[in-house]
Every structure is written in C-alpha cells, then in structure tokens.
C-alpha cells in the first residue's frame, strides 16, 4: 500500500460535477489499495471574488482580515469533496488548516509553513478514511488564520507529503503537465516528461504558475517526487525530480513570462557610496522584495537607478521612493507599470556560451526593445514592454525549442 498526496486546483473543483469527478478519481485510487490525502484549492475564481469584495471596501484592507476571508474558499471545497466521497462510498473526513496544525509564521498573505502535526491525519488514515485537507491556509502561534500566497495549495500538498513521508505527491491541474512554455499563450509549447527541481524552481520564480515556488522548494529539500498532471485525462504528466545527467544536454527547457512587474526609476541621483543602501533599506524594511536592479552612471557624477517590484507592492514602493527622493538629491522619479519579464531557463546554459546573445538577437529581429537584463547560471531574463510579451514568448520558444508539433 502506498500513501499518496493528491492536490486538485481551482478548475478541477470548479463546480459540483467536477467535484464529483475528483471524488471518483480519489475513490479509484483508494479501491486500488492506496491511502490518500487530498488537498484542494478553492473553486475556480473564488479567491479572486473574495479579494474583490474586500477591495470594494478598501484597497488597503487589513491583511489579517483578508486571510480570514480568503481562507473560506478552501473550507467550501474540502466539505463538498468529503460529502461527494462519502456519497461515492469512500469514507472521508475534511480538515481545515488549523485542525491539523499547519503552523505558519504571521506574514499574512504570504505565510510560510513551519510545521504540521500529522497525528490527526494519521489517525484518520489508520481508520481507513480518505483525508481531505484545505490547501492554502494555516495558523500562526496566536491562532490567527494565515494564507500561503497565491497558488499556495501546491505548497500545502507538498509539505503534507513531506511530513507524512508520502510515496509521491500528485498535482492535478487543468493542463497535462509542465510545458516548455505556457500552453495557453504559446501554441507550440510541448509537455516535458521530466524536469529537474532546479529548473522548475527557476521557472516558478520567473512566473510559471503551474507550481508555486515554495512547493518546489519543499519537494527539493525533502526529496518528494512530484507528478504534475491533468484532472481530466489519464495521461502521464510531468515528473519533477532530481537532476539527471541527460538533462544537461538540453540548452533551454522553458520560456516563461511574468506580467506582475512594475518599474521605478530614480533619475539623476548623486553617485555616492551608500546610495543603494539608502534607497533599498527602507524598501526592504517595508517587506517589499525588489527583483531586478540596474544603475547607469553618467559622466556628470549622477546616476539613474532603476528597479522592479511586484505589482502588488508598487504603490508602497513608489510612495517610499517619492518620500526619499528629495533627500537623496534625485532629479525625479519615473514609473512604468506596463512592463513584463520574459525569461529562458535551462541547465544547459551553464556550459554553453552564446545563449543570452541568441535571446537578444531573436528579440531584436522582431523589434522588441530590452529595458533590463538579468542572468544567473541557468536563466536569462529581460524586462520589456508588456504589450510584447506574447510575441516575445513565441519567437523565443521557436528559436530555442522549435516550432514543431506537440509530443
């Protein structure tokens, strides 16, 4: 008998018929003799709907209360799935995050899991039950409800798989696996049979939303084999695994994009030691994570300092920069929220020169201007005008991964 953790995303539990479909998949697994812990997301669109309600009351709604609000989405689906399973003759028990002590820190809206008390889940499994756990939510030391950030149910599932020493964690979603690019944007994208944890980490951190980045971090740290696959077919999906020798041969594994970027430029600041510390200190103190930074010095001793932040943090970061601009001696502040980041990722980039150059050439050939560049061992990212994202992704995909048929 294996222990399997299965996670079903929002589309997979989007209505009652789909919840019934999930129940029959889980029941089939149970009938085959495996023990199953199921993690579910809120029904498709529900988290956004709830956030919209809060936004109507205030664009700066209290973070603690927003977590109380959006955690309700998953409360609905665990109950509905447990009901559907019981109806299907498969005894099931639902649990909310706090009931199985998914303990997190107190960073509302982006809390991190610290520990999970597996005893109640273990007892229910020993009793022959399917255990259905609410994804995305936890509880802090003061018993406040917390949520794990968008896409956080993936992380709930992998963390549970790690704690329970599950044989594998299956992420059921609305596509057949991890593709070479977003299949909804890039018609030539192909499903990958296997991808390394490190490449998946890069893809997730650069905008590929099929897995939340923290879920991949957990999977890597605890060696949880991860299988991303479709809720609607029986097709084998993508295995996210330890790096294998043959993976190095592939120059680029994926092309990804992130529209969640905003750019801020401090103009003509006196170029002195300590400048960056004075600009980025207050931003870090406000818990805003800065992504890319470029500084271009001019001959007259001043410099333009440009950086990007997530859209959600833009207002706060902009206000902080404006507040400090005068004392920093800047000539002004310029912002641009119509930007996006496009990246190529691949283990093979470690050992092959010229990949970045080919990327820049490919974009130049279609007239796309590159505003910022950042590279690391296995990725190259560029910031471009948001309106060119689709074109950039398609030409880069065709240049590095071919325009052939899906496999």
Contact pick of 6, 47, 94, 173 for ligand ADP (by CB under 6 A): 173
136 binds, among ligand ASP, Mg ion, ligand ADP, none (CB under 5 to 8 A by kind): ligand ASP
Nearest CA among 337, 355, 338 for reference residue 347: 355
Helix axis angle, 213-222 to 197-205, nearest 10°: 160
Residue 384: its H or E element: strand 379-385
- Matching residue, tokens 């009901």: 83
Decide: is 136 part of the binding site for ligand ADP (CB under 6 A): no
Which CB atom, from 9 or from 254, has the smaller least distance to Mg ion?
9
Helix axes 275-285, 311-328, angle to 10 degrees: 140
247 touches 196 (CB < 8 A): yes
14 is a site residue for ligand ASP (CB under 6 A):
no
Is 343 a binder of ligand ADP (CB under 6 A)? no
Number of residues this chain uses to bind ligand ADP (CB under 6 A): 19
Partners of 139 in beta bridges: 103, 145
Q: How far apart are CA 51 and CA 280, in angstroms?
A: 29
Long-range contacts of residues 358-366, Cβ cutoff 8 Å, at least 24 apart:
358/399, 358/400, 359/396, 359/399, 359/400, 362/395, 362/396, 362/399, 363/392, 363/395, 363/396, 365/395, 366/391, 366/392, 366/395
Between 97 and 183, CB nearer to ligand ADP = 183
Q: Are strands 130-134 and 35-40 parallel, antiparallel or unpaired?
A: parallel
> Contact between 209 and ligand ASP (CB under 6 A)?
no
Residue 51 vs 290, nearer CB to ligand ADP: 51
209 binds ligand ADP (CB under 6 A): yes
For residue 207, state whether it binds ligand ASP (rule: CB under 6 A): no
Show the binding pattern over residues 146-175: x = contacts ligand ASP (CB under 6 A), - = does not.
----xxxxx---------------------
344 DSSP 8-state letter: E
- Interaction of residue 151 with Mg ion, rule CB under 5 A: yes
Stretch that binds ligand ADP, among 206-214, 269-277, 351-359, 367-375 (CB under 6 A): 206-214
Residues of this chain, 7-66, that bind ligand ADP according to CB under 6 A? 9-12, 41
Of 3-11, 55-63, 373-381, 394-402, the window that binds Mg ion (rule: CB under 5 A) is 3-11
Give the count of residues interacting with ligand ASP (CB under 6 A).
13
| Matching residue, tokens 């943090």 | 313
Window 225-264: contact mask with ligand ADP (x via CB under 6 A): -----------------------------x----------
Query: 191: left (phi > 0), else alpha (psi -120 to 50), else beta?
Result: beta
Contact 85, 129 (CB under 8 A): no
By CB under 6 A, name the binding residues for ligand ASP: 9-10, 41-42, 47, 73, 135-136, 150-154
By CB under 5 A, name the binding residues for Mg ion: 9, 151
By CB under 6 A, name the binding residues for ligand ADP: 9-12, 41, 151, 173-175, 178-179, 181-184, 208-210, 254
């Amino acid at each position: 008998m294996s222990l399997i953790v299965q996670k079903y995303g929002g589309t997979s539990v989007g209505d009652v018929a789909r919840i019934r479909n999930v129940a029959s998949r889980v029941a089939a697994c149970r009938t085959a003799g495996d023990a199953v812990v199921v993690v579910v997301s809120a029904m498709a669109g529900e988290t956004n709907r709830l956030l919209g309600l809060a936004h109507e009351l205030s664009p700066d709604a209290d973070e603690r209360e927003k977590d109380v609000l959006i955690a309700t989405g998953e409360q609905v689906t665990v109950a509905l799935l447990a009901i559907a399973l019981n109806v299907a003759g498969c005894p099931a028990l639902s649990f909310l995050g706090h009931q199985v002590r998914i303990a997190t820190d107190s960073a509302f809206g982006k809390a991190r899991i610290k520990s999970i008390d597996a005893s109640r889940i273990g007892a229910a499994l020993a009793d022959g039950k399917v255990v259905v756990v609410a994804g995305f939510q936890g509880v802090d030391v003061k018993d406040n409800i917390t949520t794990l950030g968008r896409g956080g149910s993936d992380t709930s599932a992998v963390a549970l798989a790690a704690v329970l020493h599950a044989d594998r964690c299956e992420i059921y979603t609305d596509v057949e696996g991890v593709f070479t690019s977003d299949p909804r944007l890039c018609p030539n994208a192909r499903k990958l049979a296997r991808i390394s944890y490190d490449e998946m980490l890069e893809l997730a951190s650069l905008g590929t939303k099929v897995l939340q980045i923290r879920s991949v971090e957990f999977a890597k740290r605890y060696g949880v084999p991860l299988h991303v696959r479709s809720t609607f077919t029986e097709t084998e999906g993508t295995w996210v695994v330890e790096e294998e020798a043959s993976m190095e041969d592939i120059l680029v594994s994926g092309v990804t994009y992130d529209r969640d970027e905003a750019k801020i430029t401090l103009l003509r600041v006196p170029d002195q030691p300590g400048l960056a510390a004075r600009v980025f200190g207050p931003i870090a103190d406000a818990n805003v994570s800065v992504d890319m930074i470029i500084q271009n010095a001019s001959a007259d001793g001043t410099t333009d300092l440009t950086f990007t932040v997530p859209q959600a943090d833009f207002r706060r970061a902009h206000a902080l920069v404006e507040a400090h601009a005068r004392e920093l001696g800047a000539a002004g502040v310029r912002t641009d929220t119509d930007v996006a980041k496009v990246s190529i990722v691949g283990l093979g980039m470690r050992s092959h020169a010229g990949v970045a150059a080919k990327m820049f050439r490919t974009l130049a050939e279609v007239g796309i201007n590159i505003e910022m560049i950042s590279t690391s061992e296995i990725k190259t990212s560029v910031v471009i005008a948001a309106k060119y994202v689709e074109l950039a992704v398609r030409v880069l995909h065709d240049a590095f991964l071919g325009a052939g048929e899906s496999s």
